[in-house]
Amino acid sequence: MQKSKIKKISIFYHLPFNDFISRFYLMDNLSTIEISEKIFRETKISISPRAIQKRLKGLGLIRSFSDAFNIAIKKGRKSYAHLRKSIKSCELRRGINLRLRYEIFKRDGFKCVLCGNTPKESRLVIDHIIPVVDGGTNDFLNLRTLCFDCNQGKMISEERKR
């Protein structure tokens, strides 16, 4: 665990890597989630979209940590109000699109993987098994279906760990 963290950080500050990240962002118009997926596909190195955003911000390429906001700026939109509203939702903030959300629900049989609640009993949400703040990504294997109650319970217990 500790070893992989060190590896991640050293690669992270390696300059050519910054070049890749800025090129993907500026030239290929990829979102940070897409950049993270591309890097993982090509190098098997996992860098969270959040970490990429930090890098881009450090390079002065983005102004905010919100993808939607930065895309709006890139496209020259004047009003971001509707985007700001939508990114309040956890799922969009973490960049899980509707298709991925559906795929995860489908894989888990449309029920909470911990207690078996279905949408009839509780609202279902997508949970990051390794939290985003700890570098967890939107990888298929890092996501699972939880009901609202189990997810709240998990968040409270993690809050206590910190």
CA count, 13 A, side-chain hemisphere, 48: 20
Considering the rule CB under 5 A, would residue 113 count as an interface residue with Zn ion? no
Burial 90-114 (b: 16+ CB within 10 A, else e): eebebbbeeebbeebbeebeebbbb
**Binding range to Zn ion, per CB under 5 A, among 65-73, 79-87, 90-98, 143-151:** 143-151
| Minimum distance of Zn ion from residue 99's CB (angstroms) | 23
Which one of 33, 51, 112, 143 is in contact with Zn ion (CB under 5 A)? 112
Question: Which of 136, 147, 150 lies closest to 109 in space, CA to CA?
Answer: 147
CB of 153 to Zn ion, least distance (A): 8
Nearer to Zn ion, 72 or 125 (CB): 125
- Which amino acid type is present at position 80? Y
Question: Does residue 117 interact with Zn ion by CB under 5 A?
Answer: yes
* Residue 114 binds Zn ion (CB under 5 A): yes
Residue 71 host element (H or E): helix 67-74
Q: Does 104 bind Zn ion (CB under 5 A)?
A: no
Nearer to Zn ion, 51 or 124 (CB): 124
Other CB atoms within 10 A of residue 34 CB: 17
**Chain residues that interact with Zn ion, rule: CB under 5 A:** 112, 114-115, 117, 147, 150
